[in-house]
Amino acid sequence: MRCTVVQNGNVTTEKAAQAAKANAAKTMRQKAVIMDRTAIRRALIRISHEIIEKNKGVEQVVLVGIRTRGIFLAERLSQFIAQFEGVRLPVGELDITLYRDDLRAKKQQPEVVGTRIPFDVTGKKVILVDDVLFTGRTIRAAMDAVMDLGRPQLIQLAVLIDRGHRELPIRPDYVGKNVPTSRHEVVAVELEEPDEQERVLLLEPDAN
């Protein structure tokens, strides 16, 4: 089975993602297919309509995808919204990696290592887009990065999967699917653009 693992809802660099995938293949096994290609498409179409409805249109709305798969999801949302509203929303990118801070109980902490946001966020309705929402730490780092660039009118959050286990008071505005998980399970998102497959898997430790 070929799968790209999104540990804790985060993908760092492509090299790290490949290493995580190889490691998961040795230690994890597929428990369930959470979403297939059709389900992902339906979820993104629904989220697109919800974005339009919640914001009473798309004026001043911009999308910021969190690397890697959040960027592709943001691009798709922009395409769907263009079909419905005739307006293509601009898409920016945030690259957030995890680093281990020994001063904080050896927990992995998210850090913004790169941005590509070719528009002014001041006064905009910024919608952060990510594939998996887990503890909320990545989203907090993303919000801090956006606020460093300007003063948006508001910040909203769209995720394909909400797997629970929040460590911060962060709740998404738009959710493709809520998936109850245990902490030892892994949600693996595969998208056509980087993975040449389209599905979301739930993985669990292989007892063997």
pLDDT above 50: residue 89: yes
pLDDT > 90: percent of the chain? 75
Note the pLDDT of residue 12: 39
pLDDT band of residue 147 (cuts 50, 70, 90) is very high
The mean pLDDT of the chain is 86
CA distance 72 to 131: 9
Decide: pTM greater than 0.85: no
pLDDT single digits (tens) 55-86: 999 999 999 999 999 999 999 999 999 999 99
Does position 97 have pLDDT exceeding 70, yes or no? yes
| Structure confidence at residue 1 (pLDDT) | 41
What pLDDT is recorded for position 113? 80
- Residues in contact with 118: Cβ distance below 8 Å, sequence separation at least 6, in sequence order: 90, 92
> Nearest to residue 45, comparing CAs of 74, 72, 81?
81
Residue 82 tokens, joined: 């263009």
Q: How far is CA 201 from CA 10, 54, 96, 145, in A?
A: 15, 29, 22, 30
User: What number is the average pLDDT over the span 27-39?
Assistant: 95
Q: What is the pLDDT of residue 103?
A: 42
Task: Kindly indicate the confidence band of residue 2, based on its pLDDT and cuts at 50, 70 and 90.
Answer: very low
Lowest mean pLDDT among 5-19, 61-75, 134-148, 182-196: 5-19
Residue that the structure tokens 């898997």 belong to: 201
| Residue 160 Cα distances to 140, 176, 183, 189, angstroms | 17, 4, 18, 9
Structural domains of the chain sorted by starting position, each given as residue range(s) with its CATH number in brackets: 14-205 (3.40.50.2020)
183 Cβ contact partners less than 8 Å away, ≥ 6 residues apart: 165
Q: What is the pLDDT of residue 114?
A: 79
> Region 132-155: what's the mean pLDDT?
94
